[in-house]
Structure 1
């Protein structure tokens, strides 16, 4: 299998433990006033509004479904970025953690504010930023381990 596709599949799969952490941390670790929708839902709602899909943006069930699909698709897309790291000698979890931190920084301080889909992380509460940074460390480390496992498993 193509290394980029392997890494994308790893990124998609790693979105599950990331999402579980995000939901659990939102519920158990954030104070009530910070338990508003998580970024995948906010981003999906803003994107749906921007392209005129009010039926998605204003329907809770459709918005939640679209948010899940978008989150896993983005996880796969940016998971593909792990492919060039596969040949490096560092441990997979370390390389993946670096990728996860890069994705958080590029997305939450660059891409999302630039597109108007989410305000900069600099304007979010510190606890929510911490939740999302840990989520991206989970995503990245799992992506790295899965991408490397699949790569070495395929050669056996």
Structure 2
């Protein structure tokens, strides 16, 4: 008897999800630039690695993967852009439905991403970069970075939707 193969159903990716991912990925660039610039103004005793690098290093360590500094930085950049893009996709799915200006709803979503990550899954996973382990200054740096990310995500997503006729 011949065995009939069935194709797996397609993943439910939608064009708006791709728009959100693009907006979130783009927004990760000014966010990261702000983080790097603001990091220089922290007191010397607070100038350890920024949270994305800490998380990436910890994940690699937990997976028993040894990364040299260039590999760690490259992996951190890739992971941070990917996380920003995936959160942008969530933004389109949820926050874009709110009847608020794009800058405001994006900024609010950005703070929500910070809270869910730094006060949610990072402490639950016992990551050193959790907001519960950071100083006020470092948490403020990251909150502002997420306001920047969210605001840029909201504005870029709105503009992309208008330009592409999906809004």
Deviations 1:108-129 (A, max 9, x none): 0111121233353122111100
Unaligned segments of structure 2, at least 5 residues:
1-13
| TM-score, with length taken from structure 1 | 0.92
Q: CA RMSD in A?
A: 1.4
Name the structure 2 match of 1:73: 82
| TM-score, with length taken from structure 2 | 0.87
User: How far 1:80 moved relative to its partner?
Assistant: 0.8
Deviations 1:90-111 (A, max 9, x none): 1001110111000000000111
Is 1:41 the counterpart of 2:53? The answer is yes
Give the distance between the partners of 1:128 and 1:109, measured in 2 at CA: 13
Name the structure 2 match of 1:12: 25
Which 4+ stretches in 1 moved above 3 angstroms?
A: none
Give the distance between the partners of 2:130 and 2:76, measured in 1 at CA: 19
Larger Rg: 2
Give the distance between the partners of 1:142 and 1:128, measured in 2 at CA: 21
User: How far 1:52 moved relative to its partner?
Assistant: 1.2
Unaligned segments of structure 1, at least 5 residues:
none
Give the distance between the partners of 1:117 and 1:22, measured in 2 at CA: 19
Structure 1 residues 1-150: aligned runs within 5 Å: 2-27=15-40, 29-54=41-66, 56=67, 59-83=68-92, 84-150=94-160
Name the structure with the higher helix share.
Answer: 1
